[in-house]
Amino acid sequence: MSVIEEKARAAAARPVDRLTLVDMDVIGCPFHAYQKLREEAPVFLDRAGGFYVLSRYDDISRALKDTKTFSSDSLVPREEYDRPTQYGGLAQVDTMITSDPPKHRYMRGPLNKLFSLTRVNKMEAYVQQIVDELVDGFIDDGHCDFVRQYTVPLPMYVIADQLGVTRDDLSSFARWSDAFATLVSGFATEEDKIWAAKQNVEMQNYFLKVIPEKRKNPTEDVISDLARAKLEDGQPMRDVDILSSIHLLLTAGNETTTNSMSLAMRTLIEHPDQMQALRDDPSLMDGFIEESLRFDGPVQGLMRRTTCDVEVGGVMIPKDSMVNLRFGSGNRDEAKYTQPEQFNVCRKEDVTHLAFGQGTHFCLGASLARKEISLTFSTLLRRMRNIRLVDPSAEMEYERNMALRSLKHLHIAFDKA
């Protein structure tokens, strides 16, 4: 048993009132703690974290659909909205992800069609080209750090191209995206928050130069579309709205897609029979994508704020409580799935999951993410044989983040097919 697994089991063996999700022993492998919560305290007050946790699929699904009671307005800590002004920047404004209906529809409207399935299908050849370029970069070496050399750059190239900005600035993009991840990590110190605000200001300054340029000379890209877009009241989007939308796309679309592919690769390597099944029958690809997102998804849980006292599963949650909807636990709920702890690319029963959320805030980029994952694994399985870990005894390392599940590295070896 790995050290991570041992620590995770020990953490889950504590009395339930001593469990907390803000704990690296749980973060390394949260599934034992989730199981305990579902069994013993499905509506759990995490005292160390200062929030409630919903861990059962049905409770999470209901909360996601009840936006009146479970508001998204505090998904990003509100006290951080103004902090950029201390460093010469603009205050953060709400985007779709921090807005409840009806404002939400108004914010999502201009972006909805930009990542529609039709548009994503048209991007296929272009995404395939990036996939091939990245794989060409390491295929002859017989090994790579799959995270640094593949899963980090792929979504970043895609989103930079979609925004219509040069790929030269990718290291800045990565920093801006990390800053957001830090804010929702549950571990952010005062120093981290200041750093995140400074990153936000740097990003604002970068895009404040790009937006007027795109207004003057629009091209085929998302910023040009946003600069021309009209809100429902017929008004154009303000620069500050466009900036916040860009910030959201950069942050919501990068880390998540990166981590989904890193985790899916780790899971496949740990389940060689499933990797072989996928090689033998490429029509299982869609099933594999959904199963890997269910089994070990990149967004483990996100916050809501209760707008009134609400009873869930016999527990009264007071108004203005923070509630963490634990998607990663709902996705392993025994009441929803047969053998939820098994990774099975041929899963036949209900394969819906919570990895992209549900209802109003269902992931805007789900079609794009699925396309990137699909092209990635079909290409890798075609071009590589015998994919394995470079050092099976090395411990996996995860970022300190209780919202996003993030592998720091994944050193793999392979034979060129």
Element (H, E) at 243: helix 239-270
Q: Which of residues 112-171 bind ligand HEM (CB under 6 A)?
A: 115
Q: Nearest approach, Cβ of 233 to ligand HEM (angstroms)?
A: 19
| Residue whose pair of structure tokens reads 């089994």 in the numeric block | 295
Beta carbon nearer to ligand HEM, 11 or 155: 155
Q: Where are the alpha helices (DSSP H) in 271-365?
A: 272-280, 285-295, 327-330
Beta carbon nearer to ligand HEM, 32 or 326: 326
Contact 395, 2 (CB under 8 A): yes
Task: Please identify which residue in 84, 89, 110, 365 interacts with ligand HEM, judged by CB under 6 A.
Answer: 365
Q: Nearest approach, Cβ of 68 to ligand HEM (angstroms)?
A: 15
Task: Please identify which residue in 369, 381, 404, 410 interacts with ligand HEM, judged by CB under 6 A.
Answer: 369
| Binding string, residues 270-309; x marks residues near ligand HEM by CB under 6 A | ---------------------------xxx--x-------
Beta carbon nearer to ligand HEM, 84 or 297: 297
Task: Please identify which residue in 355, 375, 387, 403 interacts with ligand HEM, judged by CB under 6 A.
Answer: 355
Residue 301 CA to residue 323 CA, distance in Å, equals: 10
Q: Can you give 146-171 as a three-state secondary structure string?
A: HHHHHHCHHHHHHHHHHHCCCHHHHH
Beta carbon nearer to ligand HEM, 322 or 368: 368
Beta carbon nearer to ligand HEM, 25 or 178: 178
338: which 2 tokens? 């047969």
Residue 245 CA to residue 240 CA, distance in Å, equals: 9
Beta carbon nearer to ligand HEM, 63 or 275: 63
Task: Please identify which residue in 60, 131, 249, 322 interacts with ligand HEM, judged by CB under 6 A.
Answer: 249
Q: Nearest approach, Cβ of 292 to ligand HEM (angstroms)?
A: 9
The amino acid at residue 256 is T
Strands 143-145 and 70-71: unpaired
Q: Which residues of 355-373 are buried (b: 16+ CB within 10 A; e: fewer)?
A: bbbbebbebbbbbbbbbbb
The residue number with the shortest CB distance to ligand HEM is 365
SS3 (DSSP) at 5: helix
| Residue whose pair of structure tokens reads 């603009």 in the numeric block | 90
Task: Please identify which residue in 67, 204, 260, 324 interacts with ligand HEM, judged by CB under 6 A.
Answer: 260
Beta carbon nearer to ligand HEM, 36 or 49: 49
257 binds ligand HEM (CB under 6 A): yes
Beta carbon nearer to ligand HEM, 9 or 62: 62
Q: Which of residues 50-79 bind ligand HEM (CB under 6 A)?
A: 72, 75
Q: Which residues contact 278 (CB under 8 A, 6 or more apart)?
A: 268, 284, 285, 288, 345, 377, 381
Q: Which of residues 101-120 bind ligand HEM (CB under 6 A)?
A: 108, 115
363 binds ligand HEM (CB under 6 A): yes
Distance of CA 300 to the CA centre of its chain: 8
Query: Cα dihedral angle (396, 344, 341, 384), rounded to 10 degrees?
Result: -10
Interface residues with ligand HEM (CB under 6 A) are 72, 75, 96-97, 108, 115, 248-249, 252-253, 256-257, 260, 297-299, 302, 355-357, 361, 363-365, 368-369
